[in-house]
């Protein structure tokens, strides 16, 4: 089979690495890919929002399966565009992609299907949103409805912050169309966890739990990022709770979508807050998390291509999805300054030495090859991932590997998996 992966991050390198191990694979392409994917497949210079270009490439190169890494192409209708030329796509239809593309859509569906989530209201005028916010207690969470590159969520501790967030989104329209509608919701308190499942439209197969680290600084301080590290399993969500969690957070949505003729095929990701009142869903993503995908692929034993085909064809069975029992841990190395401005073009060394450490795999994210040498080209540069017999060993190996890698202005969190260690 010829397979095309869309995307350019650590997630896509991890998917490419796992897919490249499948006996089903002939040729692998990644659009646009990065320095890591260039070593195991052919990078194609097409952006993830260039739906026409991706479809034309897939048709011209006899692609048998397109795998959507990020949400944007799905929200833009990649699946439908591929359907029209009869090329299978791993990832949901544009209707289902609204679960990630519109927070109001996701919250309304959670309420309609009984999924536990923070109390909320949706507003599409600034006056009404402002009046509501002024009449309610703080803290309060204000979210731009649409995709805002992870920047559309403000946890307002003061009325000033709340008013400024509404003004930025609805009057200044800093996120454009995405912020014209806002969700205002109750602030939840608890530890976060990531829970993902493969879905074939009706059958749901949960994957091992993970915990991401969203803030840039140690001890969860500073700005929100795409994620600075993750480990699996997360002791806060043990294996014997996966079935119950799937029934709580995934099944109601998948059954509802099947019932209205929009079966969900792909990966459904529930971002959870483990509150004193029980788990609540913060958000859905319609794809693998990043960095979560990296420690997850390190643990996946089964053939990912077989799983993806079964999802697309609606014949998924739990027996097809087997994970190694080992624990995995991924530490993201970023460029100093991320998630704001950061330098690019730093030469990266020490990748081979890092991978000489037992069970270590370095996934590349914001990198390019320059004359065969990896250089940084993004904020999150590498995902240094290790397996171990327990979290302590996986974490120790990952950090030992991080220390072998050098690039100017590198930055990483020193406390990845500490919360998990305290619980295990
Ligand atoms: P979201 O994109 O909705 O997941 O929000 C991004 C991040 O904001 C989450 O990972 C949480 O850390 C935080 N967050 C979102 N909603 C809430 C909430 N209702 N209460 C507290 N924190 C939240
Ligand atoms: N790491 C969180 C996400 O992929 O959305």
- Convert the pLDDT of each residue in 134-183 to its tens digit: 999 899 999 999 998 878 999 999 999 999 999 999 999 999 999 999 99
C-alpha of residue 127 to centroid of ligand 2, in Å = 32
Kindly give the pairing relationship between strand 327-335 and strand 229-232.
Answer: antiparallel
Q: Are 404 and 367 in contact (CB under 8 A)?
A: no
The whole-angstrom separation of Cα 386 and Cα 363 is 11
pTM for the whole structure: 0.97
Name residue 6's beta-bridge partners: 31, 68
Q: E strands along 240-307, which residues?
A: 265-275, 278-285
Q: Which two tokens stand for residue 342?
A: 């950061």
pLDDT of residue 424: 81
DSSP SS3 for 129: helix
The whole-angstrom separation of Cα 272 and Cα 279 is 6
Question: Closest residue (by CA) to atom 2 of ligand 2?
Answer: 289
Q: Which two tokens stand for residue 419?
A: 């919360």
pLDDT of residue 149: 81
Ligand 2, atom nearest to 292 Cα: 1
Q: Mean pLDDT of all residues in the chain?
A: 97
User: Of 118, 26, 35, which Cα lies nearest the Cα of 374?
Assistant: 35
Any idea what DSSP says for residue 73?
Answer: H
155 Cβ closer than 6 Å to some ligand 1 atom:
yes
Q: Residues near 358 by Cβ (< 8 Å), separated by ≥ 6?
A: 397
- Average pLDDT for residues 334-348, to the nearest whole number? 97
pLDDT of residue 358: 97
Q: What is the pLDDT of residues 301-331, one digit of tens each?
A: 999 999 999 999 999 999 999 999 999 999 9
pLDDT of residue 151: 83
Ligand 1, atom nearest to 188 Cα: 20
Name residue 315's beta-bridge partners: none
The whole-angstrom separation of Cα 332 and Cα 327 is 17
pLDDT of residue 220: 95
pLDDT of residue 150: 77
- Average pLDDT for residues 360-380, to the nearest whole number? 97
DSSP SS3 for 67: strand
Q: Please report the DSSP string for 36-66 in residue order.
A: TGGGTSEE----TT-HHHHHHHHHHTT-SEE
Question: Closest residue (by CA) to atom 5 of ligand 2?
Answer: 289
- Average pLDDT for residues 361-374, to the nearest whole number? 97
Residue showing tokens 């529930």: 270
First to last CA, the chain: 42
Pocket test for ligand 2, best of 285, 363, 380 (most atoms within 8 A of CB): 285
């Amino acid at each position: 089979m010829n397979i095309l992966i869309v995307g350019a991050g650590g997630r896509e390198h991890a998917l490419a690495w796992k897919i490249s191990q499948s006996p089903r694979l002939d040729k692998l392409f990644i659009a646009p890919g990065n320095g890591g994917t260039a070593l195991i497949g052919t990078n194609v210079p097409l952006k993830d929002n260039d739906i026409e270009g991706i479809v034309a490439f897939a048709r011209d190169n006899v692609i048998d399966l397109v795998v959507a890494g990020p949400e944007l192409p799905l929200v833009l209708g990649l699946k439908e565009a591929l359907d029209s030329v009869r090329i299978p796509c791993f990832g949901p239809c544009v209707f289902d992609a609204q679960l990630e593309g519109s927070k109001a859509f996701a919250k309304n569906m959670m309420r309609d299907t009984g999924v536990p989530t923070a109390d909320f209201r949706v507003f599409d005028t600034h006056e009404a949103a402002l009046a509501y916010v002024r009449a309610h207690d703080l803290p309060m969470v204000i979210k731009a409805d649409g995709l805002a590159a992870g920047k559309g969520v403000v946890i307002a501790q003061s009325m000033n912050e709340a008013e400024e967030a509404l003004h930025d989104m609805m009057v200044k329209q800093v996120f454009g169309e995405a912020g014209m509608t806002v969700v205002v919701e109750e602030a939840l308190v608890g530890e976060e966890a990531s829970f993902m499942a493969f879905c074939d439209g009706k059958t749901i197969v949960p994957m091992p739990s993970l915990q991401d680290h969203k803030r840039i600084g140690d001890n969860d301080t500073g700005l929100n990022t795409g994620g600075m590290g993750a480990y699996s399993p997360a002791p806060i969500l043990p294996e014997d709770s996966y079935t119950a969690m799937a029934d709580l957070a995934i099944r109601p949505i998948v059954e509802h979508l099947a019932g209205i003729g929009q079966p969900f095929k792909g990966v459904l990701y529930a971002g959870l807050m483990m509150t004193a009142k029980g788990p609540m869903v913060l958000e859905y993503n319609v794809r693998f998390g990043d960095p979560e995908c990296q420690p997850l692929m390190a643990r996946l034993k089964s053939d990912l291509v077989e799983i993806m085909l079964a999802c697309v064809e609606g014949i998924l069975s739990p027996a097809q999805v087997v994970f190694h029992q080992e624990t995995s841990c991924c530490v993201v190395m970023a460029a100093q300054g991320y998630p704001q401005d950061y330098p690019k073009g730093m030469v990266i060394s020490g990748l081979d030495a890092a991978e000489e450490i037992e069970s270590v795999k370095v996934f590349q994210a914001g990198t390019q090859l320059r004359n065969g040498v990896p250089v940084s080209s993004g904020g999150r540069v590498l995902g240094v991932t290790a397996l171990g017999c327990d979290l302590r060993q996986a974490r120790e190996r990952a950090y030992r590997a991080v220390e072998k890698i050098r690039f100017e202005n590198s930055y990483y969190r020193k406390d990845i998996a500490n919360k998990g260690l305290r619980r295990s």
